[in-house]
């Protein structure tokens, strides 16, 4: 019992600190990556090749005045930023970074990830509601509609590897892929589209372009975070990146074989795959324009949900035919 | 009043209907959109009455940049006015200067040398490229956001716009607000080797226009966001006095460069770009097409600029004393945004008695109450971006 | 509250101050910590762009790839809550000033302000006019002034570097020396005297002009290519167009007026408009009102008539050979003229503008409110009997 507890604590601390460091790096990476796409240089002055830019940003945000607007619901307003960060970090608990590096390989890991993912909408809605700002309220409204809708295809596409491997435990799903094939490789006609739907739905859950309508800054200024200053904004900002990183990690575990790969240790492969997915997310973000909210709903309910249902059926048939 | 009754008035949104008629229960949300907002293109305010996301009624408010240009002009001598109007349409300053000085020249019945007219044509066309590039960038920002694909398009557009500004800087010494036109011609002659630089810049810009068309007109999300959004019918556009690309996007084949030639446009053939539909997509198509047409025109004309004087007036030691005989004159040119006119009332002194600048953007904005209702907030942003308003000339 | 006296804090000493000083190593630690915090603060200046006009475009160019302000960690935030620096880029009008102040108050401390361009610094040549605030430092604490009209992107970048220097030094209790680059100061000094000068009277203008012994009219040289040049007189005659006389004859109206467009009796002008519309003049170009006051014409070229308003209407045909038709209506002070709104929807804003600025009343207008000036403004600034440098409380 105490061994398990020790293991949990040690790995939790380890993974949280690694993910937070990775987040800081991700901030830098995204700025450099975006700048390169736009024929700019990005941060160059602060630290070598601008590496210390996220540190400077954080130090600055720490020193900023903390403002709670008049007539805002102060309790909720102050509560939701840490909640957002926690909800985003929580999902990292069950991600298997290697056969041994995992904070807690739950029996129902996939269910846990989805459940925690569903919580992330609450802070966003709370922020929109409590700010006493019409733009934030509109943003919160959009976020709720979007997140609840995209839960459905997310769930359906996550069901595919679960059915194929016969387990809800992430470790087992990865092991299954390591023993046979990655699900995007075989059966690719089920795994590949399911992977696509999963990533799209994850983008939508993380409010990334082209699905970033809750904070569409050309329409809603800064959406739900319009009224947030200093560290509270930093928590939201960080939560967004943590969410993207964790989503990439979960996607890699569910479909890309997780830590499975030749030559290098499993941890390297997991980090590499996560980074790859993460880069893809930013590539999309800095290339595409934004959907309108009704088109976003249309995409979800008209395309992703029916496809998800079909894929779940196909996966079930596949398992029955080739057990 | 019998004549009035024969005029057909089509059914359209009544912009003056009281909000109580839409919303007797008071359940609509009033969203003040602007005057400081990332996508209002300066300082412009729309009061949006929202039913959820849907816009029910729009009340536009202008005047947040009313700089009293017309009053200022009444206190200045004619040659001093040019740098003032530069700041009106600050995305296309060249055309402001041209429209103003052409009015003075028309009132003085002053001949502009052919070289100066060719140079003005070249400047106007290069300015059109720069202005439309800026429009494309900001329109993409409106559709895609400052932290996403929109800003990528935006920064790419600015990269090409800088090339055009470099050309102007070489001639006039200024990045914008050139003050290069004056009564009877131009101030600065073309430097040696300028045409080669123009060709070099167009060699870069031309192929990139293909990229922009691919990035926009073949982009599924761009099409989703623009097709059928902000539909404006031709009759309403004409009544509102809308000109330029927005009118041509309604299918009206009207371009002052061809229909009432000024500068040297009577010596070249201008292909007028039109599109059907009157929606945001049509406006984008027209502007992208016009950039190509401008590239073609500049390439065609830049090597053939005739020799000669660039100013008709003899060197006058005190140009401030230029006097215009009493009378009234209206002269209009086609700027990147449409018909920019100058209505001059002179009383025979060296100061204008009344100088009214007729800005195309003001008329474009007056369409908002007719075309925004029915769309969502996102559509309102897209429509505003597609009208390409420059608040400097709207408010003056 | 009572009267507050200035307390410079010199006499204050925290009770724990001595104790803390005696803790070994504490001062070293806090100094290091303060340096780290200062480093972070000065290297992550997020900007809230208060971009109203031309300078806003140069601000965008600063963010674009040629200069790329992101190199020093500066990004643009659309909401004031997350910004450290407000860059006031452009003219601030009286109508806008209260909004700027509000946005400034919404920014969290510590915060800084950069006044970009001469309009934000001093109001530039608009500074004495009725609607412009003469510099944002009348209501905001400005940290860095970046001169220019507009400043080049490099100049703005320089301003940001100076701001970083100021932040670092002020944390240490030092002060920043003002710009000592004499070359820069020379460039930014105005090259010509102020165009609108409080103390300069029209008499002084007249004295200067009449004392000069130089040719008073611009001389016209013959055209270089007479065959190709458009007849400039054609432009001047465009003002009334060929169809208008026919319409007037049809209606049996004897038009008067010599120096301007034909004057039509006010009660029949709707008929003229509707007749012209059915003849193809479908586009409303503009509505121009002029206020004529006896004694304002400076050299007496226009005969002294009693005070009146003249409203000119401009319509245009669409397509090849586009023509303009202009007629005018003469009104006594306070006399209304029928609105064109029922015929041309665009007359809505045009007439509102003329009502706002000149003070002409339009009968049957659906929504005759001010367009440019704030609702509570009590004058019509373009009336000729008002001086150009009309003060507007509370800024001047």
* Opening angle at CA A51, ends A46 and A56, nearest 5: 55
Chain B residues with CB under 8 Å of C345 CB are 12, 236, 239-240, 366, 370
Q: Same domain, yes or no, for C53 and C179? A: yes
Angle between helices B194-216 and B280-302 (to 10 degrees): 160
Q: Same domain, yes or no, for C115 and C159? A: yes
Q: Which residues, given as ranges, of chain A have pLDDT below 50? A: 1
C-alpha C298/C-alpha C296 separation (Å) is: 6
Q: Same domain, yes or no, for C202 and C306? A: no
Is residue C109 within 8 angstroms of chain A, CB to CB? yes
Q: What is the pLDDT of residue C114?
A: 92
Please name the residues in contact with C63: beta carbons below 8 A apart, sequence gap of 6 or more. B155, C69, C70, C76
Are C298 and B349 in contact by the 8 Å Cβ rule? The answer is yes
Last residue of a domain, one of C191, C213, C235: C213
Q: What is the pLDDT of residue A209?
A: 60
Chains that touch A (3 or more CB pairs under 8 A): B, C
C259 and B16 within 8 Å at the Cβ level: the answer is: no
B221 and A288 within 8 Å at the Cβ level: the answer is: yes
* Opening angle at CA A210, ends A17 and A208, nearest 5: 15
Q: Which residues, given as ranges, of chain C have pLDDT below 50? A: 1-2, 188-197, 212-240, 298-300, 396
Q: What is the pLDDT of residue C235?
A: 39
A288 and B37 within 8 Å at the Cβ level: the answer is: no
Structure tokens at B187: 């101030």
Q: What is the pLDDT of residue B129?
A: 92
Chain A residues with CB under 8 Å of B38 CB are 217-218, 221
DSSP string covering A67-101, please? ---TTS-HHHHHHHHHHHHHHHHHGGGG--SSSS-
Would you call C88 helix, strand, or coil by DSSP? strand
Q: Where are the alpha helices (DSSP H) in chain B?
A: 2-5, 19-22, 69-74, 78-86, 93-108, 114-144, 149-172, 194-216, 220-226, 234-239, 245-248, 256-259, 280-302, 360-365, 368-371, 377-387, 391-395
Q: Where are the alpha helices (DSSP H) in chain C?
A: 17-22, 26-43, 54-63, 94-106, 117-122, 153-171, 182-188, 202-211, 232-237, 243-251, 269-278, 347-357
Q: Please, how many CA atoms are within 13 Å of residue A39, restricted to the half-sphere of its CB? A: 13
Q: Same domain, yes or no, for C42 and C90? A: yes
* Opening angle at CA C93, ends C87 and C99, nearest 5: 65
Q: Same domain, yes or no, for C324 and C177? A: no
Strands B327-335 and B338-346: antiparallel
Please name the residues in contact with B128: beta carbons below 8 A apart, sequence gap of 6 or more. B92, B290, B291, B294, B335, B336
Q: Same domain, yes or no, for C197 and C274? A: no
Q: What is the pLDDT of residue C134?
A: 81
Structure tokens at C96: 């806008």
Among partner residues A134, A219, A286, which is closest to B149 by beta-carbon distance? Answer: A286
Q: Same domain, yes or no, for C39 and C176? A: yes
Tell me, rounded to whole angstroms, the distance of Cα A150 from its chain centroid. Answer: 13
Q: Same domain, yes or no, for C187 and C335? A: no
Chain C residues with CB under 8 Å of A225 CB are 79, 82
CATH number at residue C202: 3.40.50.12280
Does residue C298 lie within any of the structural domains? yes
Distance from CA of B65 to the nearest CA of C (A): 6
Chain C residues with CB under 8 Å of B338 CB are none
Is residue B145 within 8 angstroms of chain C, CB to CB? no
Chain B residues with CB under 8 Å of A138 CB are 31, 50, 53, 377
Taking alpha carbons only, the member of C61, C161, C138, C156 closest to residue C92 is C138
Taking alpha carbons only, the member of B344, B346, B340, B363 closest to residue B355 is B344
C-alpha B40/C-alpha B162 separation (Å) is: 23
Q: Same domain, yes or no, for C149 and C248? A: no
Task: Tell me the residue range of the domain where C327 lies.
Answer: 244-363
Would you call A123 helix, strand, or coil by DSSP? helix
Chain B residues with CB under 8 Å of C66 CB are 158-159, 162
Q: What is the pLDDT of residue C190?
A: 40
Q: Which residue, chain included where needed, has tokens 């046979």?
A: A180
Taking alpha carbons only, the member of A272, A128, A162, A149 closest to residue A211 is A149
Is residue B271 within 8 angstroms of chain C, CB to CB? no
Q: What is the pLDDT of residue C86?
A: 92
* DSSP secondary structure letter of residue C291: E
Domain boundaries, chain B: 26-61, 112-319+367-395
Other C-beta atoms lying within 10 Å of the C-beta of residue C100:
24
Question: Hey, of C57, C99, C119, which one would you mutate to test binding to chain B, going by the most B CBs within 10 A of its CB?
Answer: C57
A209 and B145 within 8 Å at the Cβ level: the answer is: yes
Angle between helices A230-255 and A53-63 (to 10 degrees): 140
B376 and A216 within 8 Å at the Cβ level: the answer is: no
What dihedral angle (degrees, nearest 10) is formed by the CA atoms of B240, B358, B138, B133? 110
Per residue in C128-152, pLDDT tens?
788 888 888 888 888 888 888 888 8
Chain C residues with CB under 8 Å of A127 CB are none
Domain boundaries, chain A: 62-321
Among partner residues C40, C81, C109, which is closest to A56 by beta-carbon distance? Answer: C40
Is residue A212 within 8 angstroms of chain C, CB to CB? no
Are A219 and A185 in contact by the 8 Å Cβ rule? The answer is no
B330 and C314 within 8 Å at the Cβ level: the answer is: yes
C41 and A60 within 8 Å at the Cβ level: the answer is: yes
Is residue A217 within 8 angstroms of chain B, CB to CB? yes
Among partner residues B111, B159, B341, which is closest to C285 by beta-carbon distance? Answer: B341
Is residue A291 within 8 angstroms of chain B, CB to CB? yes
Among partner residues C283, C323, C381, which is closest to B241 by beta-carbon distance? Answer: C283
Among partner residues C36, C41, C70, which is closest to A35 by beta-carbon distance? Answer: C70
Give first-to-last CA distance, chain B, whole Å.
36
B38 and A293 within 8 Å at the Cβ level: the answer is: no
Taking alpha carbons only, the member of B45, B151, A60, B211 closest to residue C45 is A60
Question: Max CA-CA distance within chain B?
Answer: 71
Structure tokens at C211: 């004392």
Number of domains comprising chain C: 2
Distance from CA of B187 to the nearest CA of C (A): 15
B149 and A285 within 8 Å at the Cβ level: the answer is: yes
Are A38 and A28 in contact by the 8 Å Cβ rule? The answer is no
Distance from CA of A28 to the nearest CA of B (A): 14
DSSP string covering A145-179, please? HHHHHHHHHHHHHHHHHHHHHT-S-HHHHHHHHHH
A286 and B146 within 8 Å at the Cβ level: the answer is: no
Among partner residues C56, C76, C218, which is closest to B184 by beta-carbon distance? Answer: C218
Are B310 and B320 in contact by the 8 Å Cβ rule? The answer is no
In angstroms, what CA-CA distances link B44 with B140, B340, B361, B395, C95?
Answer: 19, 20, 12, 10, 11
C229 and B183 within 8 Å at the Cβ level: the answer is: no
User: pTM score, two decimals?
Assistant: 0.84
Question: Hey, of C67, C194, C240, C346, which one would you mutate to test binding to chain B, going by the most B CBs within 10 A of its CB?
Answer: C346
C-alpha C379/C-alpha B45 separation (Å) is: 23
The region that residue C135 occupies, defined by phi over 0 for left and psi between -120 and 50 for alpha, beta otherwise, is: left
A-chain residue closest to B145, CA distance = A218
Per residue in B100-127, pLDDT tens?
888 888 888 778 888 888 889 999 999 9
pLDDT digit of tens for each residue in chain B (396 aa)? 334 444 444 457 777 777 777 777 777 888 888 788 877 777 888 888 888 788 888 888 888 888 888 888 888 888 888 888 888 888 888 899 888 888 888 888 778 888 888 889 999 999 999 999 999 988 888 887 767 778 888 888 888 888 898 888 888 888 888 888 888 888 888 888 888 888 888 888 888 888 888 888 888 888 888 888 888 888 888 888 898 899 888 888 888 888 888 888 888 888 888 888 888 888 988 998 899 888 888 888 888 888 888 877 654 556 667 777 788 888 888 899 888 989 988 887 888 888 899 999 999 988 888 888 888 888 888 898 898 888 888 888
Q: Same domain, yes or no, for C39 and C181? A: yes
Q: Which residue, chain included where needed, has tokens 């459940």?
A: A115
In angstroms, what CA-CA distances link C384 with A203, B328, C289?
Answer: 61, 17, 11
Distance from CA of B72 to the nearest CA of C (A): 7
Per residue in C192-208, pLDDT tens?
333 344 555 667 656 65
Are A89 and C70 in contact by the 8 Å Cβ rule? The answer is no
Q: Same domain, yes or no, for C46 and C157? A: yes
B31 and A134 within 8 Å at the Cβ level: the answer is: yes
Question: Hey, of A34, A200, A213, A218, which one would you mutate to test binding to chain B, going by the most B CBs within 10 A of its CB?
Answer: A218
Angle between helices A121-130 and A230-255 (to 10 degrees): 160
For B112-319+367-395, CATH gives 1.10.645.10
C-alpha A308/C-alpha A314 separation (Å) is: 10
């Amino acid at each position: 019992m105490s061994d398990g507890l020790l293991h949990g604590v040690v790995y939790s601390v380890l993974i949280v600190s690694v993910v937070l460091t990775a987040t800081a790096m991700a901030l830098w990476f995204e700025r450099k990556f975006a700048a390169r796409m736009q024929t700019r240089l990005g941060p160059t002055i602060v630290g070598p090749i601008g590496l210390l830019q996220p540190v400077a940003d954080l130090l600055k945000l720490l020193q900023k005045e903390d403002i709670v607007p008049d007539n805002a619901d102060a309790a909720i307003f102050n509560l939701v930023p840490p909640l957002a960060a926690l909800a985003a970090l929580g999902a990292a608990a069950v991600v298997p970074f290697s056969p041994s590096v995992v904070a807690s390989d739950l029996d129902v890991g996939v269910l846990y990830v989805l459940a925690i993912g569903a919580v992330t909408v609450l802070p966003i809605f709370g922020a929109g509601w409590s700010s006493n700002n019409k733009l934030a309220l509109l943003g919160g409204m959009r976020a709720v509609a979007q997140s609840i809708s995209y839960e459905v295809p997310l769930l359906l596409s996550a069901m595919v590897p679960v059915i194929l491997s016969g387990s809800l435990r992430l470790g087992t799903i990865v092991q299954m892929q390591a023993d046979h094939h990655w699900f995007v490789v075989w059966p690719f006609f089920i795994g590949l589209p399911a992977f696509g739907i999963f990533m799209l739905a994850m983008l939508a859950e993380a409010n990334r372009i082209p699905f970033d309508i809750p904070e569409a800054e050309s329409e809603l200024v800064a959406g739900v975070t319009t009224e947030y200053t200093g560290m509270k904004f930093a928590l939201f900002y960080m939560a967004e990146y943590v969410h993207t990183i964790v989503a990439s990690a979960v996607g890699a575990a569910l479909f890309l074989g997780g830590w499975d790969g030749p030559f290098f240790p499993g941890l390297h492969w997991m980090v590499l795959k996560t980074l790859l997915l993460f880069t893809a997310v930013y590539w999309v973000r800095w290339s595409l324009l934004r959907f309108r909210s009704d088109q976003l709903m249309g995409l979800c309910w008209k395309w992703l949900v029916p496809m998800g249902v079909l894929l779940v059926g196909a996966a079930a048939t596949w398992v029955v035919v080739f057990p | 009043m019998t004549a009035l009754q024969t005029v057909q008035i089509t059914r359209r949104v009544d912009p003056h209907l009281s909000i109580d008629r839409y919303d007797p229960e008071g359940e609509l949300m009033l969203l003040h959109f602007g005057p400081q907002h990332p996508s209002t293109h300066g300082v412009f305010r729309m009061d949006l009455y929202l039913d959820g996301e849907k816009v029910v009624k729009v009340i536009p408010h202008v005047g947040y940049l009313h700089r009293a240009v017309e009053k200022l002009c009444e206190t200045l001598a004619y040659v001093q006015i040019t740098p003032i109007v530069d700041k009106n349409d600050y995305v296309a300053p060249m055309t402001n200067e041209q429209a103003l000085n052409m009015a003075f020249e028309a009132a003085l019945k002053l001949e502009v040398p052919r070289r100066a007219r060719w140079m003005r044509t070249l400047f106007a066309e290069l300015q059109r490229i720069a202005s439309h590039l800026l429009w494309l960038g900001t329109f993409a920002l409106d559709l895609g956001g400052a932290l996403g694909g929109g800003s990528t398009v935006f920064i790419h557009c600015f990269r090409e716009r800088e090339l055009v500004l470099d050309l102007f800087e070489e001639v006039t010494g200024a990045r914008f607000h050139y003050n290069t036109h004056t009564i009877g011609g131009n101030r600065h002659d073309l430097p040696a080797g300028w045409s080669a630089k123009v060709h070099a810049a167009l060699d870069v810009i031309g192929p990139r226009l293909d990229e922009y068309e691919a990035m926009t007109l073949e982009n599924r999300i761009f099409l989703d966001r623009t097709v059928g959004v902000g539909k404006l019918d031709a009759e309403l556009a004409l009544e509102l006095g809308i000109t330029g690309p927005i009118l041509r996007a309604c299918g009206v084949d009207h371009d002052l460069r061809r229909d009432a030639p000024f500068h040297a446009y009577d010596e070249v053939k201008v292909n007028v770009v039109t599109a059907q539909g009157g929606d945001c997509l049509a406006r984008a198509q027209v502007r992208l097409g016009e950039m190509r047409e401008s590239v073609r025109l500049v390439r065609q004309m830049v090597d053939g600029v005739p020799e000669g004087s660039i100013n008709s007036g003899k060197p006058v030691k005190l140009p401030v004393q230029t006097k215009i005989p009493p009378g009234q004159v209206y002269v209009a040119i086609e700027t990147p945004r449409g018909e920019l006119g100058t209505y001059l009332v002179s009383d025979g002194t060296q100061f204008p008695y009344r100088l009214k600048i007729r800005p195309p953007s003001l008329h474009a904005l007056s369409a908002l109450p007719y075309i925004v209702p029915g769309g969502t907030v996102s559509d309102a942003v897209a429509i505003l971006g597609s009208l390409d308003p420059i608040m400097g000339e709207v408010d003056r | 509250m009572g009267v507050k006296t200035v307390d410079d804090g010199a006499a204050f000493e925290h009770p724990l101050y001595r104790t803390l000083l005696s803790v070994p190593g504490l001062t070293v630690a806090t100094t290091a910590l303060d340096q780290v915090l200062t480093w972070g603060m000065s290297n992550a200046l997020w900007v809230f762009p208060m971009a109203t006009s031309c300078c806003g475009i140069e601000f965008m160019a600063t963010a674009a790839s040629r200069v790329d302000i992101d190199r020093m960690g500066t990004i643009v935030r659309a909401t004031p809550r997350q910004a450290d620096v407000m860059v006031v880029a452009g003219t601030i009008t009286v109508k806008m000033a209260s909004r700027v102040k509000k946005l400034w108050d919404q920014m969290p401390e510590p915060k800084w302000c950069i006044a970009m361009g001469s309009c934000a610094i001093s109001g530039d040549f608009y500074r004495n006019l009725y609607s412009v605030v003469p510099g944002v430092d009348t209501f905001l604490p400005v940290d860095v002034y970046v001169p220019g009209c507009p400043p080049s992107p490099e100049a703005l970048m320089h301003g940001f570097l100076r701001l970083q220097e100021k932040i670092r030094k002020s944390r240490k209790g030092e002060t920043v020396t003002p710009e000592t680059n004499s070359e820069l100061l020379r460039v930014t000094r105005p090259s010509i005297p102020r165009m609108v000068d409080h103390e300069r009277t029209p008499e002084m203008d007249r004295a200067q002009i009449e004392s000069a012994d130089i040719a008073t009219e611009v001389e016209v040289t013959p055209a270089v290519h007479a065959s190709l040049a458009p007849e400039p007189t054609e432009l001047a005659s465009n003002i009334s167009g060929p169809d208008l006389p026919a319409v007037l004859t049809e209606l049996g109206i004897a038009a008067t007026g010599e120096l301007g467009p034909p004057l039509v009796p006010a009660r029949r002008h709707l008929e003229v408009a509707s007749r012209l519309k059915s003849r193809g003049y479908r586009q409303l170009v503009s509505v121009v009102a002029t206020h004529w006051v006896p004694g304002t014409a400076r050299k007496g070229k226009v005969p002294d008539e009693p005070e009146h308003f003249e409203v000119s209407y401009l319509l245009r045909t669409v397509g090849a050979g586009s023509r303009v038709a202009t007629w005018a209506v003469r009104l006594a002070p306070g006399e209304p003229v029928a609105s064109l709104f029922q015929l041309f929807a665009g007359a809505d804003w045009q007439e509102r503008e003329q009502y706002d600025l000149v003070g002409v009343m339009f009968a049957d207008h659906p929504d005759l409110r001010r367009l440019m000036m704030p609702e509570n403004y009590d004058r019509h600034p373009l009336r000729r009997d008002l001086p150009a440098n009309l003060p507007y409380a509370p800024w001047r």
